[in-house]
Amino acid sequence: MTGESAERVDPSATERVVVIEDEEDLRGLVAFTLRADGWSTHTAATGAEGIALVASVQPAVVVLDLMLPDVSGIDVCRRLRATPSDAPLGIIIVTARGDEYDRLLGFESGADDYVVKPFSVRELALRVRALWRSTCPRGQAWASGSAFHWRGLILDPIRHRVRADGVDLVLRPLEFKILLLLMSNGGRAFTRAEVGVAIWEGARDGNLRTIDTHVSRLREALGPYAAAVETVPGVGYRLGHES
């Protein structure tokens, strides 16, 4: 494997990021910035290298270029999502293609965030941190140590676990965060902008259609409990009625 690896400054922390980017200078700059931010950063120059590296490293977040020399970033994203994992994986797509079609295609393939080149590497580092926090609700101001219940749905914010009728559900990081936001504020309606501020913690642009994509995926994952996420016409979303 030709990818480089940079160790974290803080050896007591174990969070890892994989950067899959074929532009050597940009790959090095992103890795350097993330390392300075305290991440154990591993890099790959091709899609095949990146997939193998993710399987080996088991990172918390993947920064994925859309245009790779061997396979498209969309295909890499789909393959990563199709691979079973015991831990949540956040995926941020980085690309020069920023039109709405490409963004939606990226989200539909399983990405959690989308950054258009050229971009600020510090902003990218903030987005990586915000996405990582999506998998660590212990550090969220509105998280609670108690489990939340809705019909046969149980959400445990500390163990980052969602169960439906006793069966564990697999939610992507931002899907979990949206559900936690709604279940921990039962009955309150949130605008799409408010949902965006809560789940990205300000480290993101205001693409409100992205919220709808994540909500659609959340409902699909909830299956018979999709009604837990209720649309409020002209406003946004709230927790559905239990009756």
- The string of pLDDT tens digits covering residues 74-130 is 999 999 988 877 667 889 999 887 677 777 788 888 888 888 888 889 889 888 888
Indicate yes or no: pTM above 0.75.
no
Encode burial over 69-104: b for 16+ CB neighbours within 10 A, e otherwise.
eeeebbebbebbeeeeeeebbbbbbbbeeeeeebbb
Intervals of CATH 1.10.10.10 along the chain: 137-239
- For 5-133, which CATH class? alpha beta
Among the four given CATH numbers 1.10.10.10, 3.40.50.300, 3.30.110.40, 1.10.3720.10, the one describing domain 137-239: 1.10.10.10
pLDDT for residue 134: 64
Give me the percent of the chain exceeding a pLDDT of 90.
Answer: 40
The answer to whether the beta carbons of residues 105 and 210 sit under 8 Å apart is: no
pLDDT for residue 105: 82
